[in-house]
Structure 1
Amino acid sequence: MPIIFTLGNPGLKDRHWAQISEIINVPIKVDPDLTLAKILDMNLGRYVSLFESISDNASKEATLEKAMDKMERDWADLYFTVNPFKDTGTYVIAGVDDIQLLLDDHIIRTVTIKNSPNIKPFETRIL
């Protein structure tokens, strides 16, 4: 049933449900009381072609959000080792190779995410 795959998408957020509500001119409140039986009773299957693009965008947005979350987690437990440089009173960061690889990888990912047409909801976060 296409309606299950479309409206059962775990990537759908409140903003997507607002778009769906706009299409059918009925506010849909997503809560445990919203069942498949209620959706079928509302005859939403006839709108499934309109819902598919919303659901596809929600999936793409969820993928971008997961990628950004993973990048944040990659940096969360990273520690920099700082060693004194001779007797100059300055310090240098040790073990920069792994840090540089991670930074290079994340720069490429960030540019890719930033250029995605589905970045609008997270634009301020990625910038």
Structure 2
Amino acid sequence: MKAVLRGEIRNSVPYFRYRLGSDGTLELSSRHGNEITADTGFTGAIALPEDALERMAVEFAAVEEFRLADGQRVQLPIFWGAVHLNGKSFETWFIPGDPLVGMEFFEVAGTQLNLDFKTGTICLKR
């Protein structure tokens, strides 16, 4: 099984790195860019700040209702776009919010998500 993405765990929070590619796609990285939290409690795909979504090549898809961790229900726009990861491209959906990668994206991009609190690492494998 090959690692496709590696990250760190700091203060009990697992994260990877991301940046916006010149083609308007999201690039997930092990080393460079802003932090994006690996949130196993987020059943969606990817959340990014609105200013990042505005700079991306994403298409508006719909408005859907989501339930937040505190139980609150909110209406959010959904956008369709691409993520580059280790030379592969994945089409997925995005919502505005704090930078999060959720379980729906992990299921599409990998087969195993390992969190090692002793070494402080997180690894998505395929």
For the aligned pair, the TM-score class normalised by the smaller chain equals under 0.3
Bigger helix share: 1
Bigger strand share: 2
**Bigger Rg, which one:** 1
